[in-house]
């Protein structure tokens, strides 16, 4: 299948099925730690990268072929090969996936379109949003996430703050920590300040363990991760 992956059983979500919203990696960031390899050319244009009808057809045949797993499904997750909010039809896809599966809907996003009220409006349809924020310093943001020139870090942070005010569902803020890039004390204090404004339900700290887009992208040592978790407070957990 082209647009469906999984299902995956996790402690966080239970049994979840992933939907990719593009046939190839399509993203406005080129994160050094990306598990899909380098983005190559980043894109900022929002459009229907994959036909929603095609994704739904695949979902229907998966449900038919896996009746038992379909019954146990707890979440359908929009993520996959790139940034789901680049797809102009992601809100409609949320509605259709929920209706077909009866499962909750999670969206994993890199947060870059959260400054756009129309995108936030569509995101309100989800049950769980997992936005990422790897940096609060523009220089570190450039280094770790290598954004398209049109992406603005201040708009990302303001968008996250606005999303929290508008969205009654659950927000788990994910931070990917890379040794020597975004894990120094001053930056962690900056993240803490921004997180206080954003007020997510949880803060999920991650560090690369799989193959990454660039070489020498190193995970943060466990002892340091624990220290960062302590600094960020009760909502933080290491995943």
Nearer to ligand SF4, 110 or 182 (CB): 110
Q: How far apart are the C-alpha atoms of 112 and 145, rounded to whole Å?
A: 11
CA 131 to chain centre: 5
Closest distance to ligand SF4 from the beta carbon of 81 (Å): 7
Return residues touching ligand SF4 (CB under 6 A): 27, 29-31, 34, 36, 39, 82-83, 110
The strand pair at 4-10 and 14-20 is best described as antiparallel
Q: How far apart are the C-alpha atoms of 125 and 103, rounded to whole Å?
A: 13
Closest distance to ligand SF4 from the beta carbon of 178 (Å): 12
Closest distance to ligand SF4 from the beta carbon of 142 (Å): 13
Identify whether the C-beta of residue 133 lies closer than 8 Å to the C-beta of residue 156: yes
Nearer to ligand SF4, 27 or 59 (CB): 27
Nearer to ligand SF4, 85 or 101 (CB): 85
Closest distance to ligand SF4 from the beta carbon of 149 (Å): 15
Beta strand segments in 2-122, E? 4-10, 14-20, 75-79, 104-109
Nearer to ligand SF4, 101 or 172 (CB): 172
Nearer to ligand SF4, 73 or 119 (CB): 119
Closest distance to ligand SF4 from the beta carbon of 182 (Å): 13
Q: Which two tokens stand for residue 23?
A: 């046939």
Q: How far apart are the C-alpha atoms of 74 and 150, rounded to whole Å?
A: 36
């Amino acid at each position: 299948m082209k647009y469906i992956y999984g299902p995956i059983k996790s402690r966080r979500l239970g049994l979840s099925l992933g939907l990719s919203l593009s046939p190839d990696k399509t993203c406005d960031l080129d994160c050094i730690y990306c598990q899909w390899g380098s983005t190559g050319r980043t894109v900022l244009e929002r459009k229907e990268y994959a036909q929603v009808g095609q994704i739904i057809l695949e979902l229907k045949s998966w449900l038919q072929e896996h009746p038992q797993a379909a019954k146990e499904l707890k979440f359908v997750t929009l993520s996959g090969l790139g940034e789901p909010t680049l797809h102009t039809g992601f809100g409609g896809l949320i509605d259709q996936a929920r209706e077909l599966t009866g499962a909750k809907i999670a969206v994993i996003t890199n947060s870059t379109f959260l400054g756009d009220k129309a995108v936030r409006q569509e995101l309100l349809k989800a049950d769980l949003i997992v936005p990422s924020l790897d940096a609060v310093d523009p220089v570190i943001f450039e280094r770790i996430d290598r954004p398209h020139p049109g992406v603005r870090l201040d708009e990302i942070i303001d968008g996250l703050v606005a999303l929290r005010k508008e969205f009654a569902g659950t927000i788990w803020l994910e931070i990917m920590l890379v040794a020597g890039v975004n894990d120094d004390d001053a930056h962690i204090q900056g993240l803490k300040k921004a997180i206080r404004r954003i007020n997510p339900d949880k803060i999920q700290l991650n560090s690369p363990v799989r193959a990454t887009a660039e070489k020498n992208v190193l995970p943060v040592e466990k002892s340091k991760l624990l220290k960062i978790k302590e600094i960020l407070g009760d909502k933080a957990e290491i995943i």
